[in-house]
A and B are shown apart, each in its own frame.
Chain A
């Protein structure tokens, strides 16, 4: 057991920290607003500096580094309040999926663009009737000569309004075939019959989308993995995301926690015993998350498979983010009813409270995560 960075990790961290400091405004002020142009530029900058595809094999343009380096990137970029990479889905999910399950032609066509940030991907899995129960997917892929025609609807697709392509899960088998009749496709979002419309969250944000598919053509060459093997590809895609996102989530949470401390001081409540107790309790959970994330990374590096820790991390992260937001708004007192330009930091905490309701739902509901832990880790009998 050695909780320090190894020398190569320490060197990587130092270099990255310096690069972030040179290329981003100093963190800690009011949260920065960023437009799409700025986000695209940052993705390209990252690629030029060599920080895209850290864990991708070298032969595909990556740096072939261990997951620990991806974790260092996640930590340092969160602490520097770097923008989310627009092509995070491509870099962390679709790219690794194509590397593992794609054809050489697919890899050649998409991987360079994903790396450089010029090809943006979104994910098309959830549907109105298939959320937690993803095997209930109904979007149909009807076979035609040379390919398929897609009919259906996807929801909750992040970044779909900006993306060029989508990794889509559709049913090639008969209705009711559940896990067995599914296939993953690479969908061009500019194709005829594709309509992307924003979904507005209760926070007011519109970064999720609905994708409607009316008789959209895809080719046989756009199938990822095997026809009928879509469930396995989809699960592998989700697993890639889970490998390091515990570290990402916790790094972001520590930035939010620092803002909480600033708010405690700003509102003059730093000597309030109840506030002090709650701050210490939240800190304890935050550190527990952080170090469980590191443990998970070690297990991933050792076995190549994300372990049960990822469910634990997401479950506790969402509750903790919500808990921080609740204390913060409480500190604002009556001013918690303000918003926008009349509120602290442009309504940062108001937005945070509203937006964080979705944390316990997106990316695996807390109910499902508890069932996963109960059934796969504790090996309790299945409930369904």
Chain B
């Protein structure tokens, strides 16, 4: 039971942190957040060159990059590409897009597909798709009449209209994608779509959780730095326990979330390699599903909790627009709200431990109070 990162993994994380610190200091983040596009796709060639899009990155490695991305608020479509689109391309054996990509995988009323063989068109609206504007392709879940299938749609093709939505986190903008008989490339047919979606949701959840841990860590670091410097009543405010103790709680929460992310990444990555991405072993599948759900719950709470504690620590400064903390808080809110992950993680765990809610019967009372 060895959680230690390998030297190569540590180097990867360190290099990512240095690169992002150089490229995206908080002032640049603030400027990008205030600007028109929000997400900076111009850096794609550099990211590719640095290895962020390499095929042979395992899920643990991707988590390390996602953590650093959360820490820096990496303002490119990298996360949407590797967390949402890449798992589907890989499962389909497809080479993927030549540039940023994203995915619309949510169940429920959405686009429908018409066609056969390799010729399909999609009609309908995919809502709240992250990073759709800079994307070269969007992976779209559409109903074929014989069940959902997964398609790739080029964003510059006919019948594709993107409507940018106003969002709480300008660094990860959402769009509605209106498709009108838009040409689409079939990636995964109805027979295997369910398994691919399960694996895709899993990867997205783990990478969202990893990013959230990075967000939590950065807000804590910003708050600790502030508390060490800001003086009132003749002392740094960090020396007051009422200020320090919530930060200690935030640290504890973040470390527990980080452990869960590593574990979920290792389990899911191992499942991917063994080809059991659909949880073929019922016992193993349930453990993996719980592990991913727990990581997601813990990381989201850590990001929100640490961001709110950090703002409280920074006092009057913390609630200004100019103080950078709110950019991370907005990302934490985005992470909490994002619902493209296949279902409620609390329900996943409760179903696994107590059985599905609607089929549970009340037991008859027994004498003596014995269970």
Contacts and interface: CB of A to CB of B under 8 A. Distances in A.
Contacts of B162: none
Nearest to A348: B369
Given A277-B346, A283-B349, A302 B244 contact: no
Interface residues on B, range: 35 or more
B244 A380 contact: yes
B239 A381 contact: yes
Contact of B298 (A68, A284, A302, A382): A284
Contacts of B78: none
B297 A280 contact: yes
A270 B354 contact: yes
Interface string A229-260: 00000000000000000000000000000000
Interface stretch (B42-50, B110-118, B136-144, B259-267): B259-267
B251 interface: yes
Determine which residue in A4, A5, A262, A381 has the highest number of CB atoms from chain B within 10 A of its CB, and name it.
Answer: A381
Contacts of B278: none
Contact of B60 (A1, A68, A279): A1
Contacts of A377: 248, 251
A379 interface: yes
Contact of B256 (A276, A292, A345): A292
B193 interface: no
B245 A280 contact: no
Contact of A370 (B2, B241, B267): B241
Given A277-B346, A312-B251, A370 B360 contact: no
Contacts of A2: 1-2, 266
- The main secondary structure of chain A at its interface with chain B is helix
Interface string B227-248: 1100000011011110011011
Contacts of B290: 283, 287
A284 B348 CA distance: 12
Nearest to A268: B362
A271 interface: yes
Contacts of B297: 280-281, 284
Contacts of A323: none
Interface in A132-189: none
B363 interface: yes
Interface in A368-384: 369-371, 373-375, 377-383
B252 A380 contact: no
B346 A276 contact: yes
A287 B260 contact: yes
A94 interface: no
A380 B298 contact: no
A114 to B, nearest CB: 27
Given A288-B294, A383-B240, A294 B245 contact: no
Contact of B260 (A281, A288, A371, A378): A288
Contacts of B249: 315, 370
Given A316-B252, A383-B244, A288 B235 contact: no
Given A288-B294, A367-B245, A1 B4 contact: yes
Nearest to B249: A370
Contacts of A1: 2-6, 9, 60, 262, 266
A297 to B, nearest CB: 7
A383 B4 contact: no
Interface string B353-365: 1110110101100
Nearest to A259: B371
B370 interface: yes
A291 interface: yes
Interface residues of A, number: 59
Given A4-B1, A284-B260, A379-B224, A273 B247 contact: no
Given A295-B3, A367-B241, A312 B256 contact: yes
Contact of A280 (B60, B350, B369): B350
Contacts of B291: 287
B79 to A, nearest CB: 22
Interface string A309-332: 100100110000000000000000
Most buried by B among A283, A373, A377, A378: A378
Nearest to B244: A374
A298 B4 contact: yes
A371 B1 contact: no
Contacts of B247: 374, 378, 380
Contacts of B370: 30, 344-345
16 contacts: A30-B370, A68-B1, A270-B357, A277-B350, A285-B298, A287-B294, A288-B260, A288-B298, A289-B256, A292-B259, A298-B2, A374-B248, A380-B236, A380-B239, A380-B247, A383-B239
Interface of A: 1-5, 9, 30, 68, 71, 261-266, 268, 270-271, 273, 276-277, 279-281, 283-285, 287-289, 291-292, 294-295, 297-298, 302, 309, 312, 315-316, 335, 343-345, 367, 369-371, 373-375, 377-383
The 7 closest A-B pairs by CB, nearest first: A288-B256, A268-B362, A276-B350, A374-B244, A291-B259, A380-B238, A280-B349
Given A294-B1, A381-B235, 8 more contacts: A3-B2, A276-B347, A280-B350, A283-B290, A287-B291, A298-B3, A370-B248, A371-B245
